[in-house]
Structure 1
């Protein structure tokens, strides 16, 4: 029979090794504005939650109909240097870029993106070793997109992550597994934008159709959670436009609107608000995710991933978004992942 003290010693080593491999989770935020200049509320949130990493949108990439090549759109400008934070650049691609690309044009695209990222890094006085790409690729574009990811990895040597939607989790045999170091599960924008009772940001019934597939998805994942809100302007039962960055607070003190419930308003008088024109009797449908909804998302993801989720990234760092929630919410959600 093996020596009991020796057996206990080896058990101790195994347990220590397992504990060391489970690194602590962290709270991070996306920063999705064209000028980097966090205000006092945003800075306080970062400090109170011990945030060390910011995922900063550097620019979009589109392929205009009038152009013979893809081009960057609205690069970020740093009004202040993000001292004390690890900055991870995020580049958003319109899917049409990879619809129009060919294997022959991809090396030039890699070089163009790599060079612009380096210039923005220099302006921010930051030296990131990781970059994230955001693209809702399809079966049609996956080969070009994945070739771009491999090319960028070879060119830069950076850690590469990319965003992954729920439908790409469920159908990896069709949409493919991206060749990246890890993914970011975007747990929002999953419903239809319509006048019905559901929410296009988070719909529990839709999410439940996809989350069981997380159990077999091979990539380690971060989890991106929605703290943003928007409104839908509805006229004669049809959505006529999406009102970005307009939540309940945008209407509740304006006498031109009357509340029809916790998530809606009706227009009493024709008016302008937030740069939008409203006719009398227009309906405003507010869409956001409550505290309970965010905790529900984390519980659902945990249940199907055996706690393989790494960090939480909230979209996005903006005073208007932060003021919707209790200041302790972010730590509460982080604790909920254990």
Structure 2
């Protein structure tokens, strides 16, 4: 009996030690600075490179593709994301993102699970190779200004850089707003993906409700999740003051620190306009900045600080506006966002292995908020000594 008791104590000691080490790891050091690239038509250029480097951003999430449900043909279909050749600059550290709509899961049957996993795995491999080659060409070939190197040598260096980038960034984040009724399918799909992509680290996004109500939503079978700290309101409700983020709502969701995976954090820096026609929700206008609305008084009549009336029929981007339409601008208040960031740091204690990401990177958003304010957001998750040297 004594031997068994000692063994049990030893096992318990190991478990407690592992838990303690994990807790210490998460509390120490500066969190990694990251941005999420969500545009499907634009990459990064050299101006973006200067901005991101000035903010010490060391990681990017790249939207490789979406997987949507086609109700006409009753099948899931991939929608390719941004083309790698649109990038004139790429981060040395990146994570791929594939977005899967919940409708795909609703219509997915278990016999078709492996088929979907195979297609997603093939899609990821194809896109990952495409981005790796682009990175290798940028830094091993196009920016290689050594006049003593011939074409073959540069090509060999580019190939070597391509291989290194591909191995270093072999991570896939699955973005899906799974529900209580589709969680089992989603978790089964992740397990299939882990089988098909054995050398790839599979991660999952996590909505606020999925974090708070983890007993109801379940916990995905991954080691790391990206907690999306935004979309706190209903944009279709004309009485919603700000559907993007609200500190009071954030506090209602982040009520514990018991989640059983490592967590990266995503905070919002985007803005949009909710469009209403004859009192009915007519869509979301994005990207959109307050500077643009206030700078076009012949098109937008400003009723108060965030509400506008369309003054004439017009088309902007892919959106058709009608005379009399109501537009409600919603964005991020920097002081409130800093308050949210400090609250999240105190509750979740992200550390040096965790990423703080801003959703989403767009010069329009960053210029509207201001680069110094962007820097302040990141600094919340840094040690005081670190940002004194910035």
Normalised by the shorter chain, which TM-score bucket? 0.7 to 0.9
CA drift at 1:41: 4.0
SS of match in other structure, 2:209: helix
Report the Cα distance in structure 2 between the residues aligned to 1:196 and 1:185, rounded to whole angstroms.
Answer: 26
1:325 corresponds, among 369, 382, 386, to 369
1:335 corresponds, among 379, 382, 387, to 379
1:265 corresponds, among 287, 308, 318, to 308
Q: How does 1:161-200 map to 2 (within 5 A)?
A: 161-193=203-235, 194-200=237-243
CA drift at 1:45: 1.8
CA drift at 1:302: 2.2
TM-score in terms of structure 2 length:
0.76
Report the Cα distance in structure 1 between the residues aligned to 2:171 and 2:71, rounded to whole angstroms.
Answer: 31
CA drift at 1:109: 1.3
Name structure 1 gaps, 5 residues minimum.
1-13
Partner of 1:5: none
Report the Cα distance in structure 1 between the residues aligned to 2:117 and 2:277, rounded to whole angstroms.
Answer: 44
Instruction: Tell me: CA distance 1:68–1:284, structure 2 relative to 1, closer, same or farther (3 Å).
Output: closer
Report the Cα distance in structure 1 between the residues aligned to 2:27 and 2:273, rounded to whole angstroms.
Answer: 43
SS of match in other structure, 1:299: helix
Instruction: Tell me: CA distance 1:308–1:219, structure 2 relative to 1, closer, same or farther (3 Å).
Output: farther
Question: Is 2:183 the partner of 1:145?
Answer: no
Report the Cα distance in structure 1 between the residues aligned to 2:40 and 2:248, rounded to whole angstroms.
Answer: 34
Instruction: Tell me: CA distance 1:253–1:156, structure 2 relative to 1, closer, same or farther (3 Å).
Output: same
Q: Higher helix proportion, which one?
A: 2
Report the Cα distance in structure 1 between the residues aligned to 2:183 and 2:318, rounded to whole angstroms.
Answer: 38
Tell me whether 243-252 or 221-230 shows the greater mean CA deviation. 243-252
Contact 2:224 2:261 in 1 (8 A): yes
Q: How does 1:1-338 map to 2 (within 5 A)?
A: 22-79=28-85, 80=87, 82-124=89-131, 125=133, 126-127=165-166, 128-157=169-198, 158-193=200-235, 194-213=237-256, 215-254=257-296, 255-307=298-350, 310-338=354-382
SS of match in other structure, 1:66: coil
CA drift at 1:21: 7.8
Instruction: Tell me: CA distance 1:31–1:256, structure 2 relative to 1, closer, same or farther (3 Å).
Output: same
Report the Cα distance in structure 1 between the residues aligned to 2:50 and 2:305, rounded to whole angstroms.
Answer: 28
Instruction: Tell me: CA distance 1:26–1:98, structure 2 relative to 1, closer, same or farther (3 Å).
Output: same
Contact 2:30 2:351 in 1 (8 A): no
Contact 2:309 2:327 in 1 (8 A): yes
Contact 1:42 1:317 in 2 (8 A): no
Name structure 2 gaps, 5 residues minimum.
1-19, 134-164, 383-390
Report the Cα distance in structure 1 between the residues aligned to 2:252 and 2:264, rounded to whole angstroms.
Answer: 20
Report the Cα distance in structure 2 between the residues aligned to 1:200 and 1:62, rounded to whole angstroms.
Answer: 24
Partner of 1:8: none
Per-residue Cα deviation, 1:163-194 (whole angstroms, up to 9, x for no partner): 10111112111110111111111011120112
Instruction: Tell me: CA distance 1:96–1:276, structure 2 relative to 1, closer, same or farther (3 Å).
Output: closer
Report the Cα distance in structure 2 between the residues aligned to 1:132 and 1:267, rounded to whole angstroms.
Answer: 39
CA drift at 1:91: 0.3
Report the Cα distance in structure 2 between the residues aligned to 1:320 and 1:196, rounded to whole angstroms.
Answer: 26
SS of match in other structure, 2:340: helix
Report the Cα distance in structure 1 between the residues aligned to 2:103 and 2:27, rounded to whole angstroms.
Answer: 40
Aligned residue pair count: 323
SS of match in other structure, 1:104: helix
Instruction: Tell me: CA distance 1:36–1:281, structure 2 relative to 1, closer, same or farther (3 Å).
Output: closer
